[in-house]
């Protein structure tokens, strides 16, 4: 299991479109992707879960990847968030 | 932010007959418009379509949530449709969408994401989605959402309960300025309603127009209505309802009592009888407010004269100081340049008191009031009496306040009297009758009042003379306080003359106490306005720095605009501050040989370091007291 804490910088936060970009990208990996935010564990592969978590711009989240390709998954997730989630 | 607060019944359509994505969007926008939160439908539609063009808003599991932040949206709102067979909305999972919610959000704020998040939270439950799809009526649909929200968010209060779940009270708040009290009363009523457990809706008639307007249905369903207003509100709509009509301050001070009255059925049934009923109450209640308005009209017009005149006089002192002129009785006019500024400054000051009275009179009685106010105010400065018509002891700004109000209401009375005169004389009333009769009346009144000022003055002078032998410190307190009481009226004059007379007889400590007493009020006010901003109006704060200069130059008049607008709080504060300074000056045996000049003659003040200490102490005492006494200003 690997994890990293990161701050969300895209203006909209995990809005529907950024959440979709993220969930779709994560779906490609076998590992479980969890976003720890505000004391909740959010399934990083589920668009609905991410949106329901209401993660706004400037929020700090912890990404946790657990599985065979956990390192690649975490790397991809971080790059995606740092690049602004397609905004 | 509850979903049920945002989703109105008019914005729901069950089993909508739509067969494509564009038809579904079309339908949802139509429903949003029904809900009334859209200001520009074209713009909103454009923004929705732009959002869809970038990526579909179908999130899978038969759900689609088209959304857009848009300038075409007034308030956040929701619309919903169910589509039995589903519609192809371009979902990633390829399934058709049968449950569609559309979010409208204004272009600012995070409401958008919160609504989306909450909607998604409840929609993740498959059972809940089935219940929504199975709803037979719009009420059922909303009830299902309401139940789910109660389960997910049990702690939050609902913004509005349905009438059947409890008493329902409506209220309207309004005040003349419509900036603060309207909203304070609304908040107090809402809180009281919440505390007592009765749902309440409050319409605010503020300066920006009516907000949260009561609908016809709400009025019909309500138990009763509370009107907490100091101005007239639209009453016709409340015909036949139980109603309490009261002052806006009651809404702030005793909201619970008002609500209980309605709940207990103690309020009378309101019968609308046209204009008369409402205008009557507002006339009575706002009398104090009117007095204040008249007063402020006088003060605001006087202010420029005080500021400009005061600065000119200060410049004159400065010039004489630089020129090294002797600091004697002629200080401030010894060099031609100083004389220019001093004289012009004094001329501006001469207008100050008449302007105050004149514009109070004009505010009360319009143009006919201007003449009586001006002349009455001028007579207050000359102090004319029947026996000494060219002038005696001035009654100062207190006399001017008297002249302004008495003159103004006198003219209103005169106009009423003249109502009975023949129509043919209508034209000459404003050009002949009002001015001539008004001038005569105000002259008689002021000449009758001024001798009282003379008597006060004589009495005070005698008192001061008899005190000469008693405690010097007490004498200093009395002199200082007198300088601040009327700032140019009989008290001030008596103290000042006593001080100058003392110089002539070689007692220099008395003049020192007198001058310091006159320096404290403007400085105390300036300090208070600098450090307690909330207690002064914007205009008052802006002219406050000038008061430092005026105070330091011994131009007590700088305090007059403040004293005139709030005499009962400002005058006592100034008197106490000045008395402290005067007493201290005596205690420290400070002396002064020049009859004026303020800080510019400090060089000739005996024991000047402690004289400054006395000044600072008095000013601070006055400022602190002013801060404690003065109320917060609501502009």
**Which CATH number is A20's domain given?**
3.30.1340.10
Domain span at residue B195 reads 163-285
Structure tokens, B393: 């002891």
Structure tokens, B579: 């008395």
Q: Tell me the CATH number at B104.
A: 3.40.930.10
Q: Are B199 and B262 in contact (CB under 8 A)?
A: no
Residues B628 and B535: their CA atoms lie apart, in Å, by: 10
Q: Which of B103, B133, B152 is the last residue of a domain?
A: B152
- Interchain contact, B124 vs A47, CB within 8 Å: no
Q: Which residues contact B306 (CB under 8 A, 6 or more apart)?
A: B349, B352, B550, B557, B558, B560, B561
Q: Which residues of B107-124 are buried (b: 16+ CB within 10 A; e: fewer)?
A: eeeebbbebbbbbbbbbb
Region B524-531: what's the mean pLDDT?
Answer: 94
Taking 90 as the threshold, does the pLDDT of residue B208 lie above it? no
DSSP output for A2-19:
EEEEEE--STT-S-HHHH
Region B182-208: what's the mean pLDDT?
Answer: 82
Measure B135 CA to nearest chain A CA, in Å.
23
Task: Tell which wins on pLDDT, B565 or B413.
Answer: B413
Nearest CA to A1 out of A25, A36, A28 is that of A36
Q: Which residues contact B473 (CB under 8 A, 6 or more apart)?
A: B583, B586, B587
Please give the helix or strand (H or E) that residue B454 lies within, else none. helix B434-467
Chain A residues with CB under 8 Å of a chain B CB are 12-17, 20, 24, 47-49, 51-54, 56
Residue B46's alpha-carbon distances to B5, B51, B115, in angstroms, are 25, 9, 21
* Residues B224 and B269 occupy one common structural domain: yes
Tens-place pLDDT, residues B89-123: 888 777 888 999 999 988 876 677 778 888 888 88
Other CB atoms within a 10 A radius of the CB of residue B629 amount to 15
Q: Does residue A74 sit within a domain? A: yes
Region B476-489: what's the mean pLDDT?
Answer: 89
Tens-place pLDDT, residues B120-135: 888 888 888 888 888 8
Q: Which pLDDT value is given to residue A21?
A: 86
Residues B69 and B102: their CA atoms lie apart, in Å, by: 11
* Residues B101 and B50 occupy one common structural domain: yes
Measure B153 CA to nearest chain A CA, in Å.
13
Residues of A in contact with B153 (CB under 8 A): none
* Residues B443 and B308 occupy one common structural domain: yes
Which residue among A12, A20, A51 sits closest to B117, beta carbon to beta carbon?
A51
- Interchain contact, B110 vs A56, CB within 8 Å: yes
Average per-residue pLDDT for chain B: 84
Domain span at residue A17 reads 2-82
Q: Does residue B462 sit within a domain? A: no
Q: Does residue B240 sit within a domain? A: yes
Cα B462–B468–B474 angle (5° rounding)? 105
Give the active site residues of B.
Answer: 67, 175
Please give the helix or strand (H or E) that residue B202 lies within, else none. strand B199-206
Q: Is B148 on the interface with A (CB under 8 A)?
A: no
- Look up the ipTM and state it: 0.84
Q: Which pLDDT value is given to residue B207?
A: 59
Between A and B, how many CB-CB pairs are < 8 A? Answer: 45
Taking 80 as the threshold, does the pLDDT of residue B482 lie above it? yes
Q: Does residue B461 sit within a domain? A: no
* Residues B237 and B143 occupy one common structural domain: no
Residues of A in contact with B110 (CB under 8 A): 13, 56
Tens-place pLDDT, residues A15-29: 888 888 888 888 889
Residues of B in contact with A16 (CB under 8 A): 57, 59, 65, 67, 116
Three-class secondary structure of residue B234 per DSSP: coil
Q: Is B67 on the interface with A (CB under 8 A)?
A: yes
Structural domains in chain B (count):
4
Q: Does residue A63 sit within a domain? A: yes
Region B578-602: what's the mean pLDDT?
Answer: 89
Residue of chain A whose Cα is closest to the Cα of B65: A16
* Residues B511 and B633 occupy one common structural domain: yes
* Residues B398 and B544 occupy one common structural domain: no
Q: Does residue B157 sit within a domain? A: no
* Residues B252 and B309 occupy one common structural domain: no
Q: Which of B99, B128, B152 is the last residue of a domain?
A: B152
Region A54-68: what's the mean pLDDT?
Answer: 87
Question: For chain B, what percent of residues have pLDDT higher than 70?
Answer: 93
Catalytic site includes residue A16: no
Tens-place pLDDT, residues B138-193: 888 888 888 888 887 777 655 544 444 445 789 998 876 666 778 888 888 888 88
Residues A42 and A62: their CA atoms lie apart, in Å, by: 10
Other CB atoms within a 10 A radius of the CB of residue B99 amount to 19
Q: Is B57 on the interface with A (CB under 8 A)?
A: yes
Tens-place pLDDT, residues B263-289: 887 888 887 764 333 333 344 446 777
Residues B513 and B587: their CA atoms lie apart, in Å, by: 10
Q: Does residue B460 sit within a domain? A: no
Q: Does residue A20 sit within a domain? A: yes
* Residues B87 and B57 occupy one common structural domain: yes
Residue of chain A whose Cα is closest to the Cα of B123: A48
Q: Which pLDDT value is given to residue B429?
A: 83
* Residues B299 and B275 occupy one common structural domain: no
Q: Does residue A87 sit within a domain? A: no
* Residues B257 and B311 occupy one common structural domain: no
Residue of chain B whose Cα is closest to the Cα of A54: B117
* Residues B476 and B616 occupy one common structural domain: yes
Structural domains in chain A (count):
1
Which one of the listed residues A15, A31, A44, A50 is annotated catalytic? A15
Tens-place pLDDT, residues B9-40: 889 999 888 888 888 998 999 899 888 888 88
Q: Is B93 on the interface with A (CB under 8 A)?
A: no
* Residues B270 and B290 occupy one common structural domain: no
Taking 50 as the threshold, does the pLDDT of residue B433 lie above it? yes
Test the A interface: residue of B48, B53, B117, B149 with most A CBs within 10 Å: B117
- Interchain contact, A48 vs B120, CB within 8 Å: yes
Q: Which residues contact A41 (CB under 8 A, 6 or more apart)?
A: A34, A35
Q: Which of B400, B421, B450 is the last residue of a domain?
A: B450
- Interchain contact, B112 vs A52, CB within 8 Å: no
Taking 80 as the threshold, does the pLDDT of residue B617 lie above it? yes
- Interchain contact, B113 vs A13, CB within 8 Å: yes
């Amino acid at each position: 299991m690997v994890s990293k804490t990161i701050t969300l910088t895209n203006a909209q936060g995990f809005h529907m479109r950024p959440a979709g970009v993220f969930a779709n990208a994560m779906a490609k990996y076998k590992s479980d992707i969890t976003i720890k935010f505000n004391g909740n564990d959010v399934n990083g592969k589920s668009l609905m879960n991410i949106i329901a978590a209401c993660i706004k711009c400037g929020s700090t989240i912890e990404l946790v990847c657990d599985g065979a390709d956990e390192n690649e998954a975490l790397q991809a997730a971080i790059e995606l968030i740092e690049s602004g989630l397609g905004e | 932010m509850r979903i049920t607060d945002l989703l109105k019944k008019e914005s729901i359509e069950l089993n909508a007959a739509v067969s494509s994505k564009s038809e579904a969007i079309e339908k949802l926008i139509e429903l949003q418009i029904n809900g009334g939160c859209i200001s520009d439908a074209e713009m909103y539609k454009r923004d929705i379509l732009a959002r869809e063009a970038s990526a579909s808003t179908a999130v899978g599991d038969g759900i689609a949530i088209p959304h857009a932040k848009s300038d075409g949206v007034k308030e956040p709102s929701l619309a919903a449709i169910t589509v039995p067979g589903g519609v192809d909305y371009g979902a990633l999972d390829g399934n058709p969408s049968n449950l569609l919610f559309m979010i409208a959000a204004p272009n600012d704020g995070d409401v958008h994401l919160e609504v989306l998040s909450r909607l998604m939270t409840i929609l993740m439950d498959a059972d809940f989605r089935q219940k929504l799809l199975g709803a037979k009526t719009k009420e059922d649909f909303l009830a299902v959402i309401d139940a789910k929200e109660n389960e997910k968010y049990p702690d939050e209060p609902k913004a509005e309960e349905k009438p059947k779940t409890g008493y329902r009270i409506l209220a309207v708040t309004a005040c003349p300025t419509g900036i603060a009290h309207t909203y304070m009363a609304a908040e107090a009523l809402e809180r009281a309603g919440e505390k007592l457990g009765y749902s309440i809706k409050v319409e605010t008639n503020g300066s920006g127009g009516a907000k949260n307007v009561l609908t016809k249905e709400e009025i019909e369903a309500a138990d009763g209505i509370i009107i907490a207003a100091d101005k007239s509100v639209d009453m016709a709509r409340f015909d036949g309802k139980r109603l309490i009509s009261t002052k806006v301050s009651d809404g702030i001070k005793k909201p619970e009592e008002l609500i209980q009255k309605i709940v207990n059925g103690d309020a009378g049934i309101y019968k609308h009888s046209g204009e008369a009923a409402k205008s009557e109450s507002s006339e009575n209640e706002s009398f104090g407010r009117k007095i204040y308005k008249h007063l402020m009209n006088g003060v605001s017009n006087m202010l420029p004269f005080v500021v400009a005149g005061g600065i000119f006089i200060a410049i004159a002192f400065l010039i004489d100081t630089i020129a090294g002129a002797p600091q004697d009785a002629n200080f401030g006019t010894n060099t031609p340049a100083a004389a220019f500024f001093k004289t012009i400054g004094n001329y501006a000051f001469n207008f100050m008191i008449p302007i105050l009275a004149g514009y109070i009179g004009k505010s009360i009685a319009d143009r006919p009031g201007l003449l009586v106010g001006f002349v009455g105010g001028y007579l207050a400065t000359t102090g004319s009496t029947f026996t000494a018509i060219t002038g005696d002891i001035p009654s100062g700004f207190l006399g001017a306040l008297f002249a302004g109000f008495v003159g103004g209401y006198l003219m209103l009375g005169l106009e009423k009297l003249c109502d009975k005169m023949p129509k043919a004389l209508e034209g000459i009333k404003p050009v002949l009758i009002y001015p001539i009769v008004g001038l005569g009346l105000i002259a008689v009144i002021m000449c009758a009042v001024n001798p009282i000022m003379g008597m006060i003055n004589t009495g005070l002078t005698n008192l001061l003379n008899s005190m000469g032998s008693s405690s010097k410190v007490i004498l200093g307190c009395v002199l200082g306080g007198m300088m601040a009481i009327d700032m140019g009226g009989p008290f001030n004059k008596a103290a000042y003359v006593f001080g100058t007379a003392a110089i002539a007889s070689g007692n220099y400590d008395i003049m020192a106490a007198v001058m310091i007493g006159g320096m404290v009020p403007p400085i105390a006010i300036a300090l208070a306005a600098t450090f307690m901003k909330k207690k002064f109006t914007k205009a008052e704060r802006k002219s406050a720095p000038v008061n430092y200069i005026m105070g330091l130059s011994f131009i007590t008049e700088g305090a007059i605009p403040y004293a005139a607008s709030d005499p009962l709080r400002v005058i006592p504060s100034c008197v106490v501050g000045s008395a402290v300074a005067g007493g201290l000056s005596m205690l420290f045996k400070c002396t002064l040989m020049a009859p004026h000049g303020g800080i510019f003659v400090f060089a000739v003040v005996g024991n000047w370091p402690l004289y400054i200490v006395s000044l600072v102490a008095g000013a601070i005492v006055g400022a602190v007291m002013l801060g404690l006494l003065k109320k917060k200003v609501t502009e």
